Amino acid sequence: MPSTTIFTLSAPLASSVAITIDVLAMANRVSHSLGRPSPFHVKIQGAGAALFRPFLAFPEATHDEPDLFILPAQGLSKAENYSDRLAEPDATEGRQAIQSAFHAGAHIASSCTGTLLLASSGLLDGQRATTAWWLAPVFKELFPKVSLDTTELVVTDGRLTTAGAAMAQMDLMVGLVARYAGAEIAEGCARRMVLDERRSQVPYMALSLLAASNEGVARAAAWARSRLADRIGVNDLAASVRQSPRTFARRVTAATGLSPIQFLQQLRMERAIELIETTMLPFEEIAFRVGYSDPSTLRALIRRCSGMGPRDLRTRARGALNGAGAPT
């Protein structure tokens, strides 16, 4: 049960902080519904903490050093100059808190402009990280020693996890729930809070979120996605991250709650649904592109997991697209 600190500057992005609080509260509620104790004990720290304490759905914790230190989007884009804003007293306090937590063994997680504050601590130097795509130019200018990759939604490198734009805080948080509370509770959060609002709405959690809780599993997933048509197998996944099949299987199951075969199957299905919803490719072609020689196998899998057939998914996606463009 990790002690968790949410850090806010004096004027953070309120929605990002609220998402952080809400996901942790939901994780605790899902855990209680399963007859388990609260997995997260939370306190809020920083110049903006008093603004958000009334929104805590549970008693605030009193730990000194956390196991998990979270930096939501910090509202730095409101400033005229990022460098000057990062030199202000509340940001200096933030850097000291980040460094103290990290050196005490905490995992540090941030998204959007929170990654600028994290990078200013020096902890991301030489590490892989991501941030909001629109922040990339200034991020690279200010922190050239960081290996920045804005094509990834969530990146974990050791005890540092970064995510993209402000609403990626939801993805970041569900990934952290998977890491610290397990796949079952993370999926419960995703069903209630994430996927119902997403374009596809399929009732399973995106593997990118669960896989983010283990760096090796996340790298294997990224490797596999570009090779699904090559009929890759579980042993290929393990080899891609230089792990034995047994070690890889253990880590996949711990991160996602799936066996390696189910993990690969889910990757294929997620990609297939994306192609169904975003292209007009024939279903047979989609099946081939994700590694199925028999389209009926993929069709049955999609229907079992989503409750809808490929044609229904495509029709709904077109309807959502048309609705988004309609006047309100």
Give per-residue pLDDT as tens, 123-176: 999 999 999 888 888 999 999 999 998 877 788 888 999 988 766 788 788 888
On whether both 44 and 116 belong to a single domain, the answer is yes
According to DSSP, residue 197 is labeled: G
Q: What is the pLDDT of residue 212?
A: 59
On whether both 63 and 116 belong to a single domain, the answer is yes
On whether both 39 and 170 belong to a single domain, the answer is yes
User: Count of alpha carbons within 13 Å of 279, Cβ hemisphere only?
Assistant: 13
On whether both 92 and 142 belong to a single domain, the answer is yes
Chosen domain end from 162, 181, 200: 181
- Cβ burial of 286 (10 Å; 0-12, 13-18, 19+) is buried
- Strand-strand pairing, 3-7 and 154-157: unpaired
Q: At 203, is the pLDDT very low, low, confident or very high (cuts 50, 70, 90)?
A: very low
On whether both 112 and 243 belong to a single domain, the answer is no
On whether both 22 and 171 belong to a single domain, the answer is yes
Q: Is 186 domain-assigned?
A: no
Chosen domain end from 142, 165, 181: 181
Domain span including residue 90:
3-181
Q: At 206, is the pLDDT very low, low, confident or very high (cuts 50, 70, 90)?
A: low
On whether both 11 and 138 belong to a single domain, the answer is yes
Q: Is 199 domain-assigned?
A: no
Q: At 328, is the pLDDT very low, low, confident or very high (cuts 50, 70, 90)?
A: very low
Q: Is 285 domain-assigned?
A: yes
Q: ∠ CA 120-122-123 to the nearest 5 degrees?
A: 115
- Cβ burial of 23 (10 Å; 0-12, 13-18, 19+) is buried
User: Count of alpha carbons within 13 Å of 119, Cβ hemisphere only?
Assistant: 31
Q: Is 202 domain-assigned?
A: no
Closest CA to 167 of 56, 51, 23, 15: 15
Question: Is residue 306 predicted with pLDDT exceeding 90?
Answer: no
Domain count for the chain: 2
Average pLDDT on 257-283 reads: 86
Is there a contact between 207 and 256 (Cβ–Cβ < 8 Å)? yes
Q: Is 197 domain-assigned?
A: no
Starting at the earlier edge strand, list the strands of the sheet with 41-45. Answer: 41-45, 3-7, 68-71, 107-111, 160-163, 154-157
- Strand-strand pairing, 68-71 and 128-129: unpaired
Name which of 101-110, 190-199, 215-224 the model is least confident about.
190-199
The whole model's pTM is what? 0.68
On whether both 173 and 224 belong to a single domain, the answer is no
Q: Which residue has the tokens 């959690």?
A: 205
On whether both 216 and 84 belong to a single domain, the answer is no
Q: Is 156 domain-assigned?
A: yes
Which CATH number belongs to the domain containing residue 35 in this structure? 3.40.50.880
Q: Is 77 domain-assigned?
A: yes
Encoded amino acid at 61, one letter: A
Which CATH number belongs to the domain containing residue 310 in this structure? 1.10.10.60
Integer angstrom CA distances of residue 166 from 93, 115, 134: 22, 11, 11
Question: Is residue 30 predicted with pLDDT exceeding 80?
Answer: yes
On whether both 160 and 212 belong to a single domain, the answer is no
- Maximum average pLDDT range among 62-71, 128-137, 158-167, 301-310: 62-71
On whether both 223 and 126 belong to a single domain, the answer is no
Average pLDDT on 28-34 reads: 92
Q: Is 193 domain-assigned?
A: no
On whether both 144 and 218 belong to a single domain, the answer is no
Residue 197 or residue 27, greater confidence:
27
